[in-house]
Amino acid sequence: MDGSIKTTEIMKSGAEAVLRALKDQGVDVIFGYPGGAVLPIYDAIFQQNAIRHILVRHEQAAVHAAEGYARSTGKVGVVLVTSGPGATNAVTGLVDALMDSIPIVCLTGQVPTHLIGNDAFQEADTTGITRQATKHNYLVKRSEDLSRVMHEAFHVAKTGRPGPVLIDLPKDILINPAPYAEPSSQPHRSYKPRTTPDARKVAEAVALMKRAERPIVYSGGGVINAGPEAAKLLIEFVRLTGFPCTSTLMGLGAYPASDPQFLGMLGMHGTYEANMVMHGCDVMLNMGARFDDRVTGRLNAFSQGSKKIHVDIDPSSLNKSVMVDVGIVGDATETLRALIAAWKADTHPQDREALAKWWQQIDVWRSKNSLRFTQPHDPGSIIKPQYAIERLYKATRGQAKETYVTTEVGQHQMWAAQHFKFDKPNRWMTSGGLGTMGYGLPAAMGVQVAHPDALVIDIAGEASILMNIQEMGTLAQYRLPVKIFILNNQYMGMVRQWQELLHGNRYSESYSEALPDFVKLAESFHAVGLRAEKVEDLDRVIAEMLAVDRPVIADICVDQKENVFPMIPSGAAHNEMLLGPEHKANSGGYNGGSVTDEGLVLV
Amino acid sequence: MTEQNIALRSATISVLVENESGVLARVIGLFSGRGYNIDSLTVAPVERDRSKSRITIVTSGTEMVIEQIKAQLGRLVPVYRVQDLSKEGPHLARELALIKVVGTGEARQEALRLADAFRARVIDASTESFIFELTGATDKLDAFLDLMRPLGLAEVSRTGVAAIVRGKATIE
Ligand SMILES: Cc1cc2nc3c(=O)[nH]c(=O)nc-3n(C[C@H](O)[C@H](O)[C@H](O)COP(=O)(O)OP(=O)(O)OC[C@H]3O[C@@H](n4cnc5c(N)ncnc54)[C@H](O)[C@@H]3O)c2cc1C
Ligand SMILES: Cc1ncc(C[n+]2csc(CCOP(=O)(O)OP(=O)(O)O)c2C)c(N)n1
Ligand SMILES: [Mg+2]
């Protein structure tokens, strides 16, 4: 690596070398919170203008904000926090980014090198604590390693399967002079992710798909990770083949939701047609999804009759939980391009007749209209949460602005995924893998920082929003007009739903007692507070929320007992879906008690 | 799942890694975090400039789990190469043990005779004890230890397995 250093200059301090490296990596904003160990970096920030610092109110929020920034721009999100409690507060965000493959570089302060291991003030073994919470992490012990490590961290964060990378920076390293070298063009010595698919495997995949009678494209977050070009190629491929397409929660927006070839989301709360298609298909193309348990349901009943093709940039994703027939290690963009070329080159005719029959079957499943709900419209009627999302979606369609949606975690998240239709990638930010309540508000903050003129909405639950509510202060300070749309059902609804279905209606500790008055809460944080209590209030409140150019909390009082359907109970198969309350168990089980003990231990 | 997926097998895996601090913790953390078995683990620098280390891991699991272990090791940033010796042709695996046997009289004589048969070297002796040094495959060491147990086996220190592929092919 040393051979590749182009120019070396000596920077006055390590802190200046850090900022220089950020600038050379194209960073324009960082999310952070100061403290003793990082004061040298804050001093360097004060003396420059190239990089903007957004002061959050809690380090966890700094990471989620950086995630929102990264997911909505395709760039690396950058976080700066202090040693000890600053670093430990960031851990949840790091694991969140690890699970959802979000590129983050997190800089943490550390006690000076000579004190490491002495239980010094605000010392924590940050690299030890975050080893399993990051894609990779570094402790910089020598000034001469500093700039190389900074550049390497960005490279590791954004290439291959993206993820969070942490750099622990002892205070003496930040204070002492440090040599600085620009980013090297030389690849990493040991880390060399593969992006180009094996041509033979691509041909094998196409041969399978040409002969498919009941195909499906199951697309995932990897297509979003790969960038907007991958989404374009996905559309091209799906149109070319005439195949139906479904998406995971993390992949929403890559394939336009309004397109007739799209079947909606699949999995635990996916549509009936998407899950029936997965269950009954004969050839499945998994493009950048990871056969998550929310998607597969009971593994030994998952799509037993299909040949499976799996494209993933991470070799460890292949054959991890589901054995596949053709495993392709490659980047989604490159692989989709190769698949399109190979499809066109392969002269074997497609069985169009079988495909037409498959579509007829799909239309029958579709006609169940599995996302249906009933909203009474008499004045004074209670608002159904699904209806609130539907009206919100309709209202945003009329806006000239680009719309970005983040969510917290729970029922509202699922209703947002089901009823808000995304036609473009990078518009939907949600915590899928870790399912972190408190993700949505800071993530929305990061999105709004990246896209100051866009409409950014956090679809929230009244319980989740309280987990990072302090970030209202950040919204006010930076005049970020984020809209917080709370589906207030006065319950940890997702927990209550499981208690209703699996624990005999015993709503243990899931009632949202002693809630704040969200309207007053908004006002005290210099934002606008609105409330809709009845169905006739809803459109007016949405219109007002969208009209103000300030942060808003809209408290939407919704039906407390509504459940998310369809639902594949844990441990059930795709064709054992509950479609609505009429399918619900008499207490203690599904369909007359078919949830097994094995299912009950699953989350 | 097919039979092949359920059957357990043992695997000897060599991992060539950057010799940097924390790299062993990454490997061990991976095994404990994901619930994989470690039957033996050895590590030492192998390059003249000490820039790379070689880790040898003996593990067991279903074919699917072993493939997963290899893929997970491969995605660690400081890992250069992962080699499944149990799969990539014939290989040699050896470990070394230092074995203390305490006793007198007939048992002591018998221990010495057996050590000779196993080509264990006596590297320390007192009137009441021997320390044997024995190198060989794991099962040879196990067999020797089983024989020593009734003869006054008092303490054992084993290195764990070092392994390498036969012939001219190398890990790199
Ligand atoms: C309450 C709750 C309910 C949920 N219910 C559902 C549900 O009903 N349905 C559902 O789908 N999810 C659901 N989820 C989300 C679920 O937990 C998983 O997060 C999600 O299914 C994973 O999406 P994914 O398979 O697309 O993988 P991701 O986590 O997005 O992973 C992306 C994959 O793509 C690969 N990749 C990355 N970059 C590239 C590239 N450039 N090229 C190719 N491959 C790449 C990665 O290696 C990885 O394997 C729920 C979550 C919560 C919190
Ligand atoms: C940090 C964290 N703690 C606990 C959970 C478990 N959990 C999942 S959903 C949920 C309830 C969410 O309630 P609310 O925000 O009101 O959303 P709702 O389901 O009512 O729409 C809980 C407690 C979690 N996902 N994250
Ligand atoms: Mg709620």
pLDDT at residue A233 greater than cutoff 80: yes
Structure tokens at A220: 């995932």
User: In the prediction, which pLDDT does A576 show?
Assistant: 86
**Active-site position among A494, A545, A567, A577:** A494
Across A346-454, where does the E strand assignment appear?
Answer: 403-407, 428-429
State the ligand closest to the CA atom of A440: 2
Check if the beta carbon of residue A110 is closer than 8 Å to that of residue A83: yes
Distance A239 CA to ligand 2 centre (A): 38
Q: What is the share, in percent, of chain B residues with pLDDT greater than 90?
A: 92
**CB spacing of A190 vs B79 below 8 angstroms:** yes
- R_g of chain A computed on alpha carbons: 25
| pLDDT band at A574; cut points 50, 70, 90 | confident
With bands split at pLDDT 50, 70 and 90, how would you rate the model's confidence at A132? very high
Alpha helix (H) residue ranges in A53-99:
59-73, 85-99
A495 φ/ψ angles, rounded to the nearest 5 degrees: -70, -45
Q: Which residues line ligand 2 (CB under 6 A)?
A: A 408-412, 435-437, 461-464, 487, 489, 491-495
Closest C-alpha residue for ligand 1 atom 49: A290
Confidence of residue A205 (pLDDT cuts 50, 70, 90): very high
d(CA A271, CA A267): 8
Q: Is the pLDDT of residue A21 over 50?
A: yes
Query: How far apart are the CA of A413 and the centre of ligand 2, in A?
Result: 10
pLDDT of amino acid A592: 39
Give the atom of ligand 1 at the shortest distance from the alpha carbon of A220. Answer: 26
H/E stretch holding A362: helix A352-366
Of all ligands present, the nearest one to the C-alpha of A495 is 2
Would you put residue A548 in left (φ > 0), alpha (ψ -120 to 50) or beta? beta
Neighbours of A223 (CB within 10 A): 28
The proportion of chain A whose per-residue pLDDT surpasses 70, expressed as a percent, equals: 96
State the distance from the centre of ligand 1 to the C-alpha of A356, rounded, in angstroms: 30
B137 CA distance to ligand 3 middle (Å): 61
pLDDT-derived band at A587 (thresholds 50, 70, 90) equals very low
Q: What is the pTM of this model?
A: 0.96
Q: Which of A122, A375, A470, A490 is catalytic?
A: A122
Output the pLDDT for position A187.
Answer: 77
In A253-348, beta strands by DSSP E: 262-265, 283-287, 307-312, 326-329
Q: Are A311 and A288 in contact (CB under 8 A)?
A: yes
Residue type, A543: A
Residue B1 has pLDDT above 70, yes or no: no
**Closest of A248, A251, A252, A232 to residue A240, by C-alpha:** A232
pLDDT-derived band of residue A350, with 50, 70 and 90 as boundaries?
very high
Rounded CA separation B24/A46 (Å): 39
| A553 and A544 Cβ atoms separated by less than 8 Å | no
Q: Quote the DSSP letter at residue A512.
A: -
User: Does the structure show a pLDDT above 60 at B128?
Assistant: yes
- B2: pLDDT confidence band, cut at 50, 70 and 90? very low
- A437 sits in the region (left: phi over 0; alpha: psi -120 to 50; else beta) called beta
What is the ipTM score, two decimals?
0.92
Tally Cβ neighbours within 10 Å of residue A57.
18
Of the listed ranges A415-429, A580-594, B68-82, the least confidently predicted one is A580-594
Mean pLDDT on B79-94: 94
Q: Provide the pLDDT for residue B89.
A: 82
Summarize pLDDT for A484-509 with one digit per residue, the tens.
999 999 999 999 999 999 999 999 99
Query: Tell me, what DSSP letter sits at residue A304?
Result: T
Of the listed ranges A37-51, A125-139, A181-195, A531-545, the one predicted with least confidence? A181-195
> Which residue of B29, B33, B74 is in closest CB contact with A315?
B74
Residue A573 has what pLDDT?
86
Q: What are phi and psi of A368, to 5 degrees?
A: -65, -25
Spell out a b/e string for A111-129, using b for 16 or more CB atoms within 10 Å of the CB, else e: bbbeeeeeebebbbebbeb
Q: What is the mean pLDDT of chain A?
A: 95
Inspect the interface and report whether the beta carbons of A131 and B22 lie closer than 8 Å.
Answer: yes
CA distances from A215 to A96, A207, A212, A252, A368 (A): 33, 13, 6, 20, 21
In the prediction, which pLDDT does A581 show?
82
For A462, the token pair is 């009244």
pLDDT of residue A458: 99
DSSP letters, A430-489, are ---SS--TT-HHHHHHHHHHH-TTSEEEEEEETTGGGGSGGGHHHHHHTT---EEEEEE-
The DSSP H or E segment spanning B158 is strand B153-158
* Arithmetic mean of pLDDT, A453-457: 98
pLDDT of residue A588: 36
> How large is the average pLDDT for residues B60-71?
96
**A480-486: average pLDDT:** 99
Q: Which residue has the higher pLDDT, A587 or A565?
A: A565
Whether the CB-CB separation of A337 and A329 falls below 8 Å is answered with no
Instruction: Report residue A261 as tokens.
Output: 């070839």
Cα Rg of chain B (Å, integer): 19
According to the model, what pLDDT value does residue A585 have?
Answer: 46
Q: How far apart are the first and last CA of chain B?
A: 34
- On whether the CB atoms of residues A138 and A131 are closer than 8 A, the answer is no
Residue A3 pLDDT: 44
Question: Residue B113 CB: number of other CB atoms within 10 A?
Answer: 10
Q: Say what the pLDDT of residue A593 is.
A: 41
- Dihedral of the alpha carbons of A570, A574, A579, A582, in degrees to the nearest 10: -70
Cβ distance of B29 and A131 shorter than 8 Å: yes
Which of A359, A383, A412 lies closest to A540, judged by CA? A383
Give the other-Cβ count within 10 Å of B114's Cβ: 16
Token digits of residue A356: 């037409």
Strands, DSSP E only, in A207-324? 215-219, 245-247, 262-265, 283-287, 307-312
Q: How far apart are CA A172 and CA A89, in angstroms?
A: 23
Reply yes or no on whether A171 is catalytic: yes
How far is the C-alpha of A131 from the C-alpha of B77, rounded, in Å?
Answer: 12
Find the ligand nearest to A490 CA. Answer: 3
Residue A220, pLDDT score: 98
Residue A94 has pLDDT above 70, yes or no: yes
Q: Residue A270: what pLDDT?
A: 97
Task: Count Cβ atoms below 10 Å from residue A421 Cβ, excluding itself.
Answer: 16
- Closest to B117 (Cα-Cα) out of B160, B93, B148: B148
Question: CA nearest A162 in B: which residue?
Answer: B75
Identify the pLDDT of residue A596.
62
List of E strands, A450-601: 455-461, 483-488, 528-532, 552-557
Query: From CA A66, how far away is CA A104, in angstroms rounded?
Result: 7
Which of left, alpha, beta for A368 (phi over 0: left; psi -120 to 50: alpha)? alpha
Please tell me the predicted confidence (pLDDT) of residue A589: 37
